[in-house]
Amino acid sequence: MTSPDIAALNADYARDNRLQFSKGEAGLTKVDITFNEATLELYLQGAHITRYQPAAGVDLLWMSNSAVYQPGKALRGGIPLCWPWFGANSKNPDYPQHGYARTSDFNVVSTRATDQATSIILALDPAQSPCPDWKNKAGLEFEIRLSDALWIEMRSHNLSNSPLTLSNALHGYFAISSRRHVAIPAVTGLTYLDKLQNYQSQLQSSALTLNAEVDRVYQAPPEGIVLLDPDRQINTSMRCWGNNNLVIWNPGAQKAQAMADFDDDGFEQMVCIEPANALEQSVTLQPGEDHRLGQLLTIDA
């Protein structure tokens, strides 16, 4: 896609000092959004949120310093959108891991600035899917509402004449003080499929702590999840909807070092907590049907 005209985007969609478009890293188009003290940065490629600060100096998301900003390359950190599949594509091994949304350019549908929030709606053009089997089959809209909290929602739509199965995730990378000092109590008692053990089913018998590599697909998670980080004196609360699963990932030292775009010691400062519909728990949409996958993020500091 030819790079969008920043002046034209600002003329059509900027909202005073609350939402502006500019050229970001490597000339990719970025959007800066504010609401009172809260700020957010987003790239149109992937509709990828790369920074969210609920208050000055408080980064809720982790972004790799080694992330590669380049057309067609997924960014490491922030909130990538996995869509219309999560993980490897089961039918076509040549298709990109985690779907094509995170490396595709989104169009701006609308923006708003009200007393309640600053918001933007973005969409993928279904005719531009780089994967032939998906051309004109599925639509994706992504809405961001920044207020005292961050509200995000992916809306998938079946544009075809037959049932359509898709999987997805809001693959958020959360910043933490240190991986050994955080806990996620809400997964206690859940069953998970362990990617590190060939997806064997296991029971989570106590709060999740991160002493080693973790890559788990939790089943039937509760709506409310809290990430406890006493050293940072910030607990992140999330309410999730439309998800059959919660994926939790920390690559550990070895895998972090093997990824060129992941800071070698970055695994100490992040954890991915991802509302998702994955593996056997993908969603099937009838023709014309929609699906919403969303997350509301707040902090208690």
Task: State the residues that interact with ligand TA6 by CB under 6 A.
Answer: 74, 87, 97-98, 171, 195, 215, 247, 249, 272, 274
Residue 1 CB, shortest distance to ligand TA6, in Å, is 22
For ligand TA6, the closer CB: 51 or 195: 195
Cα(158)–Cα(236) distance, integer angstroms: 33
For ligand TA6, the closer CB: 80 or 294: 80
Cα(218)–Cα(192) distance, integer angstroms: 4
Tokens coding 107: 């169009």
For ligand TA6, the closer CB: 41 or 274: 274
∠ CA 148-22-72 to the nearest 5 degrees?
Answer: 100
For ligand TA6, the closer CB: 195 or 239: 195
Burial classification of residue 262, based on how many CB atoms lie within 10 Å of its CB (0-12 exposed, 13-18 middle, 19 or more buried): buried
For ligand TA6, the closer CB: 60 or 79: 79
N residues, the chain: 301
Residue 40 CB, shortest distance to ligand TA6, in Å, is 21
Residue 289 CB, shortest distance to ligand TA6, in Å, is 26
Residue 78 CB, shortest distance to ligand TA6, in Å, is 11
Tokens coding 112: 């708003």
Residue 185 CB, shortest distance to ligand TA6, in Å, is 21
Residue 51 CB, shortest distance to ligand TA6, in Å, is 18
For ligand TA6, the closer CB: 141 or 215: 215
Find the residue with minimal CB distance to ligand TA6: 249
Torsion from C-alpha of 258, 264, 265, 267, nearest 10 degrees: -40
At residue 114, what are phi and psi to the nearest 5 degrees? Answer: -125, -175
For 9, 59, 149, 189, 251, the CA distances from 215, given in Å and listed in that order, are: 39, 24, 27, 17, 7
Cβ 187 vs Cβ 206: under 8 Å: no
